A and B are shown apart, each in its own frame.
Chain A
């Protein structure tokens, strides 16, 4: 009998356990889910707490209740994974052996990573809403707020739900107006990015939405520290941004057991294939949810869609068939914009968020990147969908693969226009680790890796080390462009910095 161990009983872990248990019997596949506690948080709900829209009881449920019978739920901390011996060591001394491991432990805010964030003002004028505790404390701070400088700040990308700080800003603007203190408040959005959002069209639309609300925008801000006495964000470039209330999104990192296991990069994210979510170093380890390196948003929709791809491939492989499913990077996110309205983003690796319409039978179409009442209702309705359809693994009417139908596609803003291919293969294949990074990903699953004892890993091979060592630099001979000389521009294009 095969053994599947799932680390993390959040969105991805729960969906995978429930979907596989529904198809495969207990005598075919043993499924174990490990999590540190029995509290499943509906994380999108944190955003609404500071404004009194949701409270704790709306967003916390028992994990147990949402994991189907016939799945072992083990509640303890994870000490480390030994991918060579396919074993998980738990903090209480137990060990679990696996044939396939799913890492679905996500990322968490790490305020301790920024000097001064957890200083004397932490919990007083410095807050975050990426944890239940943080959102609760911020709820009190908002109630006490009487105007002044309210700064919404992102420490560093990537973060989960990258639109949440923007949504917080919109909701704060609305909330301040309703409490008649908007005119006494300077609202500023501070981001390490060079615009309001990461993708050009969405960035433009969201920047307009900020301007319309008289929200200041500080871009390219890399925070060095927080000065608690002066109540200022201090940038590496010397900029200082004062606040009376700072709502920051701390650095997001994967859990420390990933580092102890030597499986992660500098943020404890596990490098994984963009389409199969297989760990690049260990083909029998899959990374679902926020904890991997997919070049798309760390979002519940991505966790859900990629989990479905994993389940389809797992079942195919289990039955000796080729695993042909590939994840396309599809993310689908409602953005609260305040005043009972919302926007919708829909995109994948190849297609950035555009304006237009998102067709959905019966209730749709939803307007993309435009503020509508229906988008807001969609966002609120999603909490019900999450608990009642998504987690139990029931079908929900959202396509896993993105569709261009209804989208108003704009030219030359595709991923290709922003640089070299990054999602799949490096531009220049100089393999430095045994994992076939540059090979097409799917064929790797077409054999039967699930039951074979993996090709004996050389003990202490370089890939065991976190993120694999960086090869030595070599000076190389450059090649010239092969473009038609007639189209070559005589002068270089110099970027604006």
Chain B
């Protein structure tokens, strides 16, 4: 597992670049991660990211788009507009969480 410098801090990531430690993330890092994939964070972006962060610890897995939509109350269409193409993966990357699984 590599460790890389991100936003001036040493951060543990997996081979794809996703964070592997929940506790190494803060919002400044999230904004930097977003920038790396061409997304500028706005309040609209932060809302689902904060939902993902709050939802993760008790469940131990990243919320799927369905959960973000049904439990978090975000419209999937909006998430596609905010995080174009692959919102589930982009959101989990920015939130410092693993890609959602639900898919074994």
Measured CB to CB, the residues of A under 8 A from B are 156-158, 162, 192-194, 198-199, 220, 222, 224, 236-237, 265-267, 271, 295-297, 412, 416-433, 437, 467-468, 470-481, 483, 485, 487-497
Of the A-B pairs whose beta carbons lie under 8 Å apart in the complex, a sample of 11, sorted by A's number, is: A156-B64, A157-B102, A271-B59, A297-B104, A419-B97, A420-B22, A426-B57, A471-B54, A473-B51, A474-B54, A487-B3
Q: How far is the CA of A212 from the CA of B73 in the complex (A)?
A: 42
Given A422-B101, A480-B9, A266–B66 Cβ distance below 8 Å? yes
Q: Is the CB of B3 within 8 A of A481?
A: yes
Given A236-B77, A427-B22, A427-B23, A493–B66 Cβ distance below 8 Å? no
Contact residues in B for A423 (Cβ distance below 8 Å): 60
Given A237-B80, A473-B53, A492–B37 Cβ distance below 8 Å? no
Q: Does B65 contact A (CB under 8 A)?
A: yes
Number of B residues near A (Cβ < 8 Å) is: 61
Contact residues in B for A199 (Cβ distance below 8 Å): 104
0/1 string, B59-102, CB within 8 A of A gives 1: 11100111100111000110010001110011001000111011
Q: Is the CB of A426 within 8 A of B56?
A: yes
Contact residues in B for A497 (Cβ distance below 8 Å): 37, 85-86, 89-90
Which residues B1-35 have CB closer than 8 A to chain A?
Answer: 1-6, 9-18, 20-27, 29
Q: How far is the CA of A129 from the CA of B31 in the complex (A)?
A: 44
Is the contact region of chain B dominated by helix, strand, or loop, or is it mixed? mixed
Contact of A412 among B15, B21, B56, B103 (CB under 8 A): B15
Q: Is the CB of B103 within 8 A of A158?
A: yes
Q: How far is the CA of A394 from the CA of B93 in the complex (A)?
A: 47
Measured CB to CB, the residues of B under 8 A from A are 1-6, 9-18, 20-27, 29, 36-37, 50-51, 53-61, 64-67, 70-72, 76-77, 80, 84-86, 89-90, 93, 97-99, 101-104
Which residue of chain A is the closest to B53 with respect to CB atoms? A473
Contact of A156 among B13, B16, B66 (CB under 8 A): B66
Q: How far is the CA of A483 from the CA of B21 in the complex (A)?
A: 12
Q: Is the CB of A417 within 8 A of B37?
A: no
Q: How far is the CA of A423 from the CA of B64 in the complex (A)?
A: 16
Q: Is the CB of B17 within 8 A of A473?
A: no
Contact residues in A for B54 (Cβ distance below 8 Å): 470-474
Q: How far is the CA of A198 from the CA of B53 in the complex (A)?
A: 24
